[in-house]
Amino acid sequence: MTNFTRKPTLTHLAVVPVRLAAYDRPTLLDHFQALDTEDRRLRFGNPLGDSALRAYVERIDFDGDDVIAVRDERLRIVGAIHVARAGEAAELGLSVLPGYRDIGIGTALFERAVIRVRNRGLASIYIHCLAENAAMMHIARKLGMRVVRNGGESDAYLQLGRLKPEALQVLPFGKMDGYRMVESGT
């Protein structure tokens, strides 16, 4: 049994793929509602209230977009990335609950999102966030994204180029892939 009175580490927990579907909307809403006012401001650009979060989750197109999540042992979403298709590009939006930060979940979600976008044949990804969102900009730079700051906002871009069919990366669990945390060795 995992002891969550201490911060989990990736050596203690393994990340396993789980992609969300429309029936996961209530759990995704619970995740966003668990974010405090400042985290909501950093994730969405302003501190959305519960009704605005509910409307956001209801608008997600689970057929056209991807939402990939990390779950804890009680299946609560502790990190999620929304991969919203926008023409030949995809916009990425990430949130990780405070007790699960700085252990690689955000990076793992971004890496998985890039694979999904590449496999869909899209040309690029981008992130739009507040310039003060240091965690988001750190991940973007770590993944080789070009970051452009404009006043109080930042954008990060990554050109993916065209994928050759032989380079397609197979995702092990088909449509139901994504991330879930499980204890190592179980």
Q: What is the pLDDT of residues 124-152, one digit of tens each?
A: 999 999 999 999 999 999 889 999 999 99
Task: Tell how far CA 70 is from the center of its chain.
Answer: 9
Question: How confident is the model over 85-101, as pLDDT tens digits?
Answer: 999 999 999 999 999 99
Q: Does domain 13-183 have CATH number 3.40.630.30?
A: yes
Question: How confident is the model over 61-74, as pLDDT tens digits?
Answer: 999 999 999 998 88
What number is the average pLDDT over the span 156-174? 65
The domain ranges of the chain are: 13-183
CB 179 within 8 A of CB 31: no
Question: How confident is the model over 19-32, as pLDDT tens digits?
Answer: 999 999 999 999 99
Residue 41 corresponds to which tokens in the numbers above? 């401001």
Dist. CA 155–CA 169, nearest whole Å = 27
Close Cβ partners of 135 (under 8 Å, ≥ 6 residues apart) = 42, 101, 106
Close Cβ partners of 63 (under 8 Å, ≥ 6 residues apart) = none
CA distances (Å), origin 30, targets 10, 130, 153: 24, 23, 27
Close Cβ partners of 61 (under 8 Å, ≥ 6 residues apart) = none
- What's this model's pTM, rounded to 2 decimal places? 0.81
